[in-house]
Structure formats: C-alpha cells, structure tokens
A and B are shown apart, each in its own frame.
Chain A
Amino acid sequence: AQSVTQLDSHVSVSEGTPVLLRCNYSSSYSPSLFWYVQHPNKGLQLLLKYTSAATLVKGINGFEAEFKKSETSFHLTKPSAHMSDAAEYFCASVSGGYNKLIFGAGTRLAVHP
C-alpha cells in the first residue's frame, strides 16, 4: 500500500537557524516524491521533486531534500530559515504501480524573529 507520513505536525525555528521537516513513505514500487508548500489561503506550490535521478534534490528558495531508500525517508532541509518560509509543507508520493498522488498530513512551520 502507498502512504506518506509526516512525523511532525508543527515545527518552530528561529530566523537564521536550520530547518528540518521529516517525511517517511511507504510504497511497493519505486516512488516519485515531492515537497509542496502552501501559504495561507493559497494553493500548493512545488518546492522540489525526486524521480529516481540524484538522491539529493535541490529546490526553490534554498530548500533541498535527500532520498534515503534504506530509511524510506525524504526529509526537507534548509540551512537558514527566513521569516517568509513560515507556511504549511506537504510531502507527497506517486508510486510506479499506482496513479495516485498521495499527500501527508502536513507540517506547519513557524519562524520566529
């Protein structure tokens, strides 16, 4: 079965400190994995995606994520948080054997001055 688990519902960091948002996936097939961001009252915007090429993926706004098959993880990181990063972040997967784009429950990131 295909599923996505985001391990933290809320993460709070200070501006200028590192960000780590955790995502684990479950899939019987090689997945494609995505991170999306949603700002208040907006639709979702793609941050980055993994589709079986390089395991370290760089995205927009300084975010990156590393695909670790042995840990079934795809954690999102950023070296230095900015106030504008405050938003909700969603991890998503599509598996080769399925056509469904499935999302995790989301992680709300708060950034404090």
Chain B
Amino acid sequence: NAGVTQTPKFRILKIGQSMTLQCTQDMNHNYMYWYRQDPGMGLKLIYYSVGAGITDKGEVPNGYNVSRSTTEDFPLRLELAAPSQTSVYFCASSYVQATEAFFGQGTRLTVV
C-alpha cells in the first residue's frame, strides 16, 4: 500500500509565488490533516477535513487554503508565498478521529 503520498518532496519558491502541495491517501480515510513543522515548535495544524466537501481551520491557517473534493485528495494551496512559510509540511490521514494517523514523508518548502 502507498499510504499517504505527498508531492513534491522539496520546493524552492520566490516571494509572492503560489503553489499547491499535493496529498493523496489510498486507505479510504475520512479524516485528513495538514501540518507545518518548524524547529522547536512541534507540528502546528493548518487545516483539516472530516470528509469530502468539509474542511475547517486549524491553529495556523493564515496564508493557506485547502479543498477536499474527493476522499483521497487534500491539496494545500499557498497563494502568495512569504518567507514565514518556509517549513516542512506534513499531510496525514486517519479513519476516524481517535484512530492512528498515518503521515506522509513531508515536503520541505523554502521561500526566498
């Protein structure tokens, strides 16, 4: 099984550019999450979704957007990249909220 797949693995953006981080899971999980990880800060929840067509803000949603048109896909959109968005981004999924979350391998994003 592929599990949770994130693309790309690495990306360098210029200030003001936009991009979409892709996340796909093949486990038929209802819940999906986007996190950013900064040194010493742990993982901060950006957005999450409890099913197709339903999304909600997490702890640090500013500067990001998401959509969930299918159960499998949960893309994260950065519209106007800023240096503060330099981070490692993780996508995760779980069947329901109290079950194990499975993580992708991460996307390392640098904004210069």
Q: Are A and B genuine complex partners?
A: yes
Interface SS of chain A: strand
Residue A113 interfacial (CB < 8 Å): no
Contact B97 A32, beta carbon cutoff 8 Å: yes
Q: Is the CB of B90 within 8 A of A44?
A: yes
Q: Roughly how many angstroms separate A51 CA and B97 CA in the complex, as a whole number?
A: 11
Contact of B59 (CB < 8 Å), options: A9, A43, A46, A102 = A102
User: Are B97 and A102 within 8 A (Cβ)?
Assistant: no
B residues with a Cβ closer than 8 A to A are 31, 33, 35, 40-45, 48, 50, 56, 58-59, 90, 92, 94, 97-98, 100-101, 103-106
A-B contact pairs, 26 of them (CB 8 A): A32-B97, A32-B98, A34-B101, A43-B90, A43-B104, A43-B106, A44-B90, A44-B101, A45-B103, A90-B42, A92-B101, A94-B98, A99-B31, A99-B48, A99-B56, A99-B97, A100-B48, A100-B58, A100-B59, A101-B48, A101-B94, A102-B59, A103-B44, A105-B40, A105-B41, A106-B40
